[in-house]
Amino acid sequence: MILTGKAALVTGSTSGIGLAIAKALAAEGAKLMINGFGDPGEIERECAELGAIHDGADMSKPDEIERMMKRCADELGGPDILVNNAGIQHVAPVEDFPPEKWDAIIAINLSAAFHTTRLAIPAMKAKGWGRIINTASAHSLVASPNKSAYVAAKHGIAGLTKTVALEAARDGVTVNCISPGYVWTPLVEQQIPDTMKSRGLTREQVMNDVLLAAQPTKRFVTPEEVAALAVFLCRDEAASITGANLSMDGGWTAA
């Protein structure tokens, strides 16, 4: 167990990639604060399984983020490991993109990471050890139509990652982002039946020709693969990896 004695906060960890990262960090002995929305009973079960505490801060609200960060410091003495993962999506052409959706995506997918980072980094620097891992996306490197806010936020988080990495480079704090392609999460799985119906396609066609159109491996990344890379970034052997945008996209951005 390489993370015994470390405190980790994973935002958006009641589902999908964040949940997998939380499980992987807990398996390595980290004390954990999880965050995100969901069924209270499910969240309670997750907390019991991981020995975690849950904070339901809405990541679009800076005052709630401040309260959560203070609680994490008071109750866990951290975070030593901060994973900025909470994210939402909305798909529409730019001329039809609802301004409130733009604001929400920028707030949750980008500004929340600024707030958690600015609040976490003084203690990390003082301890001389810290890990900040941002869940970006292939969309931090390339665009797709109809995803203006998401692509802007993900390009933004890649820039935030590089900047903070430079600022913290001599303090034992590394700052990186992981950029997955399509990841097999409940969110993605739930889209399949609707797309089959609306486009008259088979399950196989939806997966290969719609979802995995840009992913040369023609297979989904798994949340566990992303989590394994996050754990590696916490190791002492990863101390020189900082400011990196680590693609895990089945070759998408190599094309």
Residues designated catalytic: 150
Nearer to ligand NAD, 111 or 135 (CB): 135
Q: CB of 107: closest distance to ligand NAD in angstroms?
A: 8
- Where residue 199 falls (left for φ over 0; alpha for ψ -120 to 50; beta otherwise) is alpha
- Beta bridge partners of residue 54, listed in sequence order: 34
Nearer to ligand NAD, 122 or 159 (CB): 159
CA distances from 238 to 39, 58, 59, 104, 144 (A): 36, 31, 28, 33, 32
- Beta bridge partners of residue 41, listed in sequence order: none
Q: CB of 44: closest distance to ligand NAD in angstroms?
A: 15
Nearer to ligand NAD, 15 or 174 (CB): 15
CB-count burial class (<10 Å; 0-12, 13-18, 19+) for 51: exposed
SS3 for 96-139, per residue? HCCHHHHHHHHHHHHHHHHHHHHHHHHHHHHHCCEEEEEECCHH
Query: What would the two tokens of residue 177 be?
Result: 């982002």
Q: CB of 172: closest distance to ligand NAD in angstroms?
A: 26
Q: CB of 138: closest distance to ligand NAD in angstroms?
A: 7
Nearer to ligand NAD, 189 or 237 (CB): 189
Nearer to ligand NAD, 60 or 111 (CB): 60
Q: Which secondary-structure segment (H or E) carries 54?
A: strand 52-55
Nearer to ligand NAD, 76 or 136 (CB): 136
Which 8-state DSSP code applies to residue 209? I
> Of the candidates 75, 2, 26, 67, which has an alpha carbon nearest to the alpha carbon of residue 227?
26
Q: CB of 201: closest distance to ligand NAD in angstroms?
A: 19
Count of helices and strands (H, E) across the chain = 9, 7
Q: CB of 67: closest distance to ligand NAD in angstroms?
A: 13
Q: Residues interacting with ligand NAD, by CB under 6 A? A: 12-18, 35-38, 58-60, 85-88, 108-109, 135, 137, 180, 182-183, 185-188
Q: Which secondary-structure segment (H or E) carries 154?
A: helix 148-167
| Sign of the dihedral defined by the CA atoms of residues 118, 8, 18, 49, in that order | negative
